[in-house]
């Protein structure tokens, strides 16, 4: 029996990244991500996983770090490369799936995955987290966001949805949630964090009421 492919949201985002520019909300880096990067030693090797148009990757380079921007979307990696060239910055761009990172083990000091890993079912989340653990050096840090189960009723009030597998939902209508999204509780999330020591975990809305996301900071165990 063929396995259902669920990490397909990059198809939606590829079209969005073709339209995005410096005025897009996706062009503004998140303060928490930048604050943590400022605590890293200069020249730290950072992987921006699901880089989008490069809001964090570019800021990390400007802060003195060595950055790789990875995204499954061709338009995203093209946008990052163009923005880096325009600013005279060096960013390595890689188009690849998050479930199969084309890097050696222990290649990075820090991995950022902002609003990306939950695009798929639980098997996608597990494979991605295993890959993050593999490419991080022992003691390296990992910052990520995940969709909170608290967000699910908000989405259900907006559009008809169905659970296609455990904690994984698709919704009718416009937007990327026609593609599978994984919603989790804190115990769900912590159970997936094999190989990590979680330092910080909190649940808060993003830019609008009801947009609940888990925010986590963890360290790769030896």
Reported as a single tens digit per residue, the pLDDT across 27-59 is 999 999 999 999 999 999 999 999 999 999 999
Sign of CA dihedral 46, 49, 55, 58: positive
What's the rounded mean pLDDT across residues 184-211? 96
What's the rounded mean pLDDT across residues 140-153? 98
Q: Confirm whether 4 is domain-assigned.
A: no
Q: Is 63 exposed, middle or buried (0-12, 13-18, 19+ CB in 10 A)?
A: middle
Q: Confirm whether 1 is domain-assigned.
A: no
Q: Confirm whether 32 is domain-assigned.
A: yes
Q: Confirm whether 20 is domain-assigned.
A: yes
Q: Confirm whether 82 is domain-assigned.
A: yes
Q: Which residue has the tokens 């410096």?
A: 22
In the predicted model, is pLDDT for residue 121 greater than 60?
yes
In the predicted model, is pLDDT for residue 114 greater than 70?
yes
Distance CA 95, CA 179 (A): 20
CA dist list (Å): 8 to 32, 169, 198, 216: 28, 13, 28, 24
What's the rounded mean pLDDT across residues 84-99? 98
Domain coverage including residue 17: 9-220
Domain count of the chain?
Answer: 1
Q: Confirm whether 96 is domain-assigned.
A: yes
Q: Confirm whether 101 is domain-assigned.
A: yes
Categorize the per-residue pLDDT at 23 as very low, low, confident or very high, splitting at 50, 70 and 90: confident
Domain CATH for 41: 3.40.50.150
**pLDDT for the residue numbered 4:** 64
Distance CA 67, CA 111 (A): 10
Q: What are phi and psi of 92, to 5 degrees?
A: -80, 125
Instruction: Please say whether the beta carbons of 217 and 141 come within 8 A.
Output: yes
List, in sequence order, every residue forming a beta bridge with 130; answer none if it has no partner: none
In the predicted model, is pLDDT for residue 173 greater than 80?
yes
Judged by DSSP in three states, 28 sits in: coil
In the predicted model, is pLDDT for residue 1 greater than 50?
no
Q: Which of 12-16, 20-24, 50-54, 124-128 has the lowest mean pLDDT?
A: 20-24
In the predicted model, is pLDDT for residue 118 greater than 70?
yes
Q: Confirm whether 2 is domain-assigned.
A: no
């Amino acid at each position: 029996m063929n396995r259902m492919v669920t990490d397909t949201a990059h198809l939606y985002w590829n079209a969005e990244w073709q339209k995005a520019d410096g005025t897009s909300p996706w062009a503004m880096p998140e303060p928490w991500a930048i604050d943590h990067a400022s605590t890293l030693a200069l020249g730290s090797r950072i992987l921006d996983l699901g880089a989008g148009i490069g809001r964090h990757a570019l800021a990390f380079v400007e802060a003195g770090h060595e950055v790789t921007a990875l995204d499954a979307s061709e338009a995203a990696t093209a946008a990052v490369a163009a923005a880096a060239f325009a600013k005279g910055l060096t960013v390595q761009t890689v188009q690849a799936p998050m479930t199969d990172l084309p890097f050696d083990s222990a290649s990075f000091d820090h991995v950022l995955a902002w609003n990306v890993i939950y695009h798929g079912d639980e098997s996608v989340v597990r494979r991605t987290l295993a890959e993050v653990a593999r490419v991080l050096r022992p003691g390296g840090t990992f910052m990520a966001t995940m969709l909170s189960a608290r967000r699910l009723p908000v989405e259900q009030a907006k559009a008809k949805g169905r659970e296609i597998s455990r904690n994984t939902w698709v919704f009718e209508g416009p937007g990327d949630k026609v593609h599978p999204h994984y919603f989790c509780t804190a115990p769900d999330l912590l159970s997936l964090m094999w190989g990590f020591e979680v330092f910080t975990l909190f649940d808060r809305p993003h830019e609008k009421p009801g947009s609940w996301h888990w925010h986590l900071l963890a360290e790769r165990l030896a």
